[in-house]
Amino acid sequence: MTNKTDILHIQRINTSEGFHSLHEKWNALLAESPANNFFLRWEWLYSWWKVYKEDNHNLCILLVFRGKDLIGIAPFYIVHKSWRSLFSYKRLMFLGTKEGSVISEYMDVICRDGEEEDVLRKVMEFAVHEDLCDDIFLHIMDDSSKTINLLKSISHNMKFLHIAVDKIESPYIRLNDGYNGFLNSLSSTMRHNIRANERRLESCNNAAFSKTDDISKFDRDFEELVRLHQCRWESRRLHGSFSNVKFREFQKMVMPYILRNGHLELRFLSVSGKNIAALYNIRYNNKIYFYQSGLDTAFDKKLAPGLLLHNHSIKEAVSCGLKEYDFLPMGSLDSYKKHWTTGYRNVCNIYMARPGIVKHTMAVRDKMKTAYHAVRGF
C-alpha cells in the first residue's frame, strides 16, 4: 500500500524501447485513474508515436513514483520549434496530439485517484528544474478534469503565463433509461426520421448489419471503411481523413490492437451484399466512442444509412448495458451530432509559457518595431 509520506521521484522515458516496455504498467495505472479513457491507452499512444514522430520531436514521458509505486504518467513529447527564424524554443505537448491536427481526444495526465495534485506539482517542478521546455501546449482536455484547475494554480505560483483557449462542445448520449428512454429524449422530427428510415430499410433486398469480430477479416473491412469514408468526403469535394498517408498508416497499425483487445466496434450496413455505410466506434470503460464513419453517397437518396447505423449501434450499446454513447468533439461539419442529444461536455486547449520565452518574444517584437520605425524614418 502506498505511503503518503514516501518521497516522490520522476523517471524520464525518452526512447521508443522504454515506451514499449511500459505496456502493462501503463494500462494498469490508467484503469485506476479518473482520466481513464481509450485515447490514453498505451496501444493508442505508442502507435501514434511510431507513426507521427518527426526529426524535431523528442519523447518525454514522465513516470511519477511514490517510493516504489507508480502513481502518475505524464504522456509528453517535446517539439523543437523556431519563431520567425529569430530564436528557437522547446514546446511540451501530449502524445497523440499535433498542432492543427485532431487525432486523439480527452487527453490528460494519468494519475492514481487522489494523487493528482502531488503528481502535477512534481511534473511541473521537474519540467522547470530540468529545463524541459519553454512553453506547454496541451490539446483536447475534458474541461471537467481536475488537471486543468490544478495546472492553472501550480503554473500561477511558478510564474507561468497560462491561457485556456478554444472550448469545443462534445455531444454525448446517456443510456441509463434504455432504448425507449433514448427515443423519448429525441425531437419528434428525429424520431420520425428513424422510424421512416427503418421502414424504408425493410423494403430493401437483403439488408443486414454486421460487425468485424475476426482479425482474419480486418484487412478487407479496413479497406471498406476507407472506401466509404472517402466516398462521403469526396462527394463534398473535401479531403477525407484517410487521404492522409500517416493517418491511414496509424489506423492500420492501431486498429488490430483494438480488435484483439475486444474494444473495436467496426460496424457496417449492407444491402444486397454491398456495404453502404460504416461506423468506426470504440467500446471502452462502459461507453462507446464514435470515431469515424463512411457512406456510399451514390445509394438511394431517400435512405439515410448513416442514421440507421448509428441508431443500430445505440441499440446494441443499450442491450450490452453500456451507459454512454460519445460523439466526441464537434468539427465545423458536425452539427448533425446535436440532432441525437442535448447533452454535451466541453473540451479545451491550455497554453502555458515560462517567463523567459514571454520576455524573449516581447524583446524580439520590440526590436523588430524599432528597426521598422528606424527604416521608415518615424
For residues 231-252, give the mean pLDDT. 92
Domain span at residue 30? 8-169+346-374
Residue 85 has what pLDDT?
67
Is 186 inside any structural domain? yes
Same domain (yes/no): 40, 159: yes
Is 29 inside any structural domain? yes
CATH number at residue 33: 3.40.630.30
For residues 308-331, give the mean pLDDT. 96
Share of the chain above pLDDT 70, in %: 92
Is 303 inside any structural domain? yes
Q: Answer yes or no: are the C-beta atoms of 143 and 346 closer than 8 Å.
A: yes
Q: Answer yes or no: are the C-beta atoms of 272 and 206 closer than 8 Å.
A: yes
Residue 104 has what pLDDT?
96
In whole angstroms, give the CA distance from residue 75 to residue 60: 7
Cβ neighbors of 1 (< 8 A, separation 6 or more) are none
Mean pLDDT score of the chain:
91
Same domain (yes/no): 93, 197: no
Same domain (yes/no): 80, 138: yes
In single-letter form, the type of residue at position 62 comes to L
Indicate the SS3 state at residue 271: strand
Output the CA–CA distances (angstroms, integers) from residue 123 to 6, 11, 12, in the order listed.
16, 10, 10
Output the CA–CA distances (angstroms, integers) from residue 183 to 177, 194, 243, 318, 344, in the order listed.
10, 9, 36, 12, 17
Is the pLDDT assigned to residue 46 strictly greater than 90? yes
Same domain (yes/no): 126, 232: no
Is 341 inside any structural domain? no
Is 19 inside any structural domain? yes
Is 299 inside any structural domain? yes
DSSP string for residues in 183-203: HHHS-HHHHHHHHHHHHHHHT
In single-letter form, the type of residue at position 356 comes to G
Residue 2 has what pLDDT?
58
For residues 28-55, give the mean pLDDT. 97
In terms of pLDDT, which residue wins out, 374 or 151?
Answer: 151
Residue 365 has what pLDDT?
45
In whole angstroms, give the CA distance from residue 378 to residue 361: 23
Residue 190 has what pLDDT?
97
In terms of pLDDT, which residue wins out, 359 or 78?
Answer: 78
For residues 122-142, give the mean pLDDT. 94
Is the pLDDT assigned to residue 295 strictly greater than 70? yes
Same domain (yes/no): 182, 300: yes
Same domain (yes/no): 65, 116: yes
Q: Give residue-wise pLDDT tens across range 323-342.
A: 999 999 998 889 999 999 99
Output the CA–CA distances (angstroms, integers) from residue 153 to 142, 167, 342, in the order listed.
17, 19, 32
Is 128 inside any structural domain? yes
pLDDT confidence tier of residue 26, bands split at 50, 70 and 90: very high
Same domain (yes/no): 289, 364: no
pLDDT confidence tier of residue 167, bands split at 50, 70 and 90: confident
Same domain (yes/no): 105, 211: no
| Entry pTM | 0.91
Residue 144 has what pLDDT?
93
pLDDT confidence tier of residue 301, bands split at 50, 70 and 90: confident
For residues 170-175, give the mean pLDDT. 96
Closest CA to 136 of 147, 145, 15, 303: 147
Residue 77 has what pLDDT?
98
Domain count, the chain: 2
In whole angstroms, give the CA distance from residue 280 to residue 229: 10
Residue 83 has what pLDDT?
72
Burial class (CB in 10 A: 0-12, 13-18, 19+), 343: middle
In whole angstroms, give the CA distance from residue 73 to residue 33: 10
For residues 217-237, give the mean pLDDT. 94
Residue 73 has what pLDDT?
98
**Given 286, 307, 322, which residue is the final one in a domain?**
322
Same domain (yes/no): 352, 270: no
Grid cell, residue 322, equals 453500456
Is 138 inside any structural domain? yes
**Given 307, 322, 337, which residue is the final one in a domain?**
322
In whole angstroms, give the CA distance from residue 292 to residue 327: 10
Same domain (yes/no): 160, 181: no
Same domain (yes/no): 80, 128: yes
In whole angstroms, give the CA distance from residue 282 to residue 104: 12
Q: Which residue, chain included where needed, has cell 479496413?
A: 222
HSE of 213, CA atoms in CB hemisphere, 13 A: 3
Same domain (yes/no): 12, 151: yes
Burial class (CB in 10 A: 0-12, 13-18, 19+), 253: middle
Residue 235 has what pLDDT?
86
